[in-house]
């Protein structure tokens, strides 16, 4: 199932808020091979860097204010319960 997943990131819609990085349980400076990484230059859109580490929780999609994230084959994606670490991150921005 995982090999069918694609995350499309529309950089024209993206407002470079980096909230997808904050809420993603598989991203952040403390992660090895994070899925989403911030751009080197402030104000530029982040990159989807390591989709293999994506757990398909779709939290980034939930929180993207610009609707810049789209999942291909999302009908195949089983939503997972977001873990405690992700909930702590989310609580900082809502
Ligand atoms: S689906 Fe979940 S693990 Fe994958 S990039 Fe989005 S927030 Fe991160
Ligand atoms: S949450 Fe959406 S708008 Fe913000 S950086 Fe991520 S993709 Fe771009």
pLDDT digits (tens, 9 = 90+) for 12-67: 999 999 999 999 999 999 999 999 999 999 999 999 999 989 988 889 999 999 99
CATH topology of domain 2-91: Alpha-Beta Plaits (3.30.70)
How far apart CA 9 and CA 23 sit, in angstroms, is 16
Q: Is the pTM of this model over 0.85?
A: no
How far apart CA 44 and CA 11 sit, in angstroms, is 9
| Residue 60 CA, distance from chain mean position | 4
57 lines ligand 1 (CB under 6 A): yes
45 lines ligand 1 (CB under 6 A): no
Q: What residue segments make up the domains of the chain, in order of their start? A: 2-91
35 lines ligand 1 (CB under 6 A): yes
Task: Report residue 85 as tokens.
Answer: 């670490």
Q: Cα 88–80–75 angle (5° rounding)?
A: 135
């Amino acid at each position: 199932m995982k090999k069918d997943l694609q995350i499309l990131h529309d950089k024209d819609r993206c407002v470079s808020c980096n909230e997808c990085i904050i809420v993603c349980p598989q991203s952040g400076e403390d992660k090895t091979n994070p899925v989403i990484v911030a751009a080197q230059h402030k104000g530029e859109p982040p990159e989807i860097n390591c989709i293999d580490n994506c757990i398909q929780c779709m939290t980034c999609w939930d929180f993207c204010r610009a609707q810049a994230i789209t999942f291909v084959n999302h009908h195949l994606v089983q939503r997972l319960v977001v873990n405690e670490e992700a909930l702590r991150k989310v609580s900082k921005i809502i």
